[in-house]
Chains A and B, each alone.
Chain A
Amino acid sequence: ETGVTQSPTHLIKTRGQQVTLRCSSQSGHNTVSWYQQALGQGPQFIFQYYREEENGRGNFPPRFSGLQFPNYSSELNVNALELDDSALYLCASSFQGLNTEAFFGQGTRLTVV
């Protein structure tokens, strides 16, 4: 157990809908990152939040957005869902720094139909 919890664990949405995924960081961590993992591939960086500000973004369109709250929990919002958004979404919490490890939650499996 990493102390990072994600909800929900599974979700089915229809193309065009919007979805919000949630993540509670490990105690003491001030940074949260989100990753998308398609079947059979490695995780791909979506964005990172540090002290409630976006602190880096991967190659994802603006319909992927996020928030970090004062208690360092976080949300990932995806608008106008597409079939290709079907994936495992992983949240990772860490303490800001160069040589710190990231602790991952169990992920949310999103299926878009």
Chain B
Amino acid sequence: SQQGEEDPQALSIQEGENATMNCSYKTSINNLQWYRQNSGRGLVHLILIRSNEREKHSGRLRVTLDTSKKSSSLLITASRAADTASYFCATLEYGNKLVFGAGTILRVKS
């Protein structure tokens, strides 16, 4: 079973716009991670936010975490066509296993 849900399931924006994806989860976590996947291939780690952190930045990425609401958001600013991909959030559960959501498909039109 999957931990949570990403919202929206699909997002289509113009190049240069910002993209926001949300993730909800169900259990207590040690950290939450975001990954990108291009064309059904391997996942690329984007950012990890620990349970005691509220916000983290990496380049054009901004991640927030609200443990009281069991939710996280990923913001990609000034999007580019190369950002077109599927984005997954994942939580680290007991046993060091990552539990992924179903993902958000992002399409950036040039």
Residues of A within 8 A of B (CB): 2, 4, 31, 33, 35, 37, 39-45, 48, 50, 55-59, 88, 90, 92, 94, 96, 98-99, 101-107, 109
Contact = CB atoms under 8 A, between A and B. Distances in A.
Contacts of A40: 102
Contacts of A33: 96-98
A12 B12 CA distance: 34
A56 B102 contact: no
B31 A43 contact: no
Nearest to A103: B45
A42 B86 CA distance: 10
B102 A42 contact: yes
Interface stretch (B14-22, B35-43, B67-75, B77-85): B35-43
A92 B100 CA distance: 13
Interface in B27-85: 30-31, 33, 35, 40-45, 48, 50
- What 9 pairs between A and B have smallest CB-CB spacing? A56-B95, A42-B100, A45-B97, A106-B42, A104-B42, A104-B43, A101-B45, A43-B100, A98-B30
Interface of B: 1-2, 30-31, 33, 35, 40-45, 48, 50, 88, 90, 92, 95-103
A102 B45 contact: yes
B95 A48 contact: yes
B98 A107 contact: no
Given A41-B102, A42-B101, A45-B97, A98 B40 contact: no
Nearest to B43: A104
Contact of B44 (A41, A50, A104): A104
B43 A88 contact: no
Contacts of A96: 96
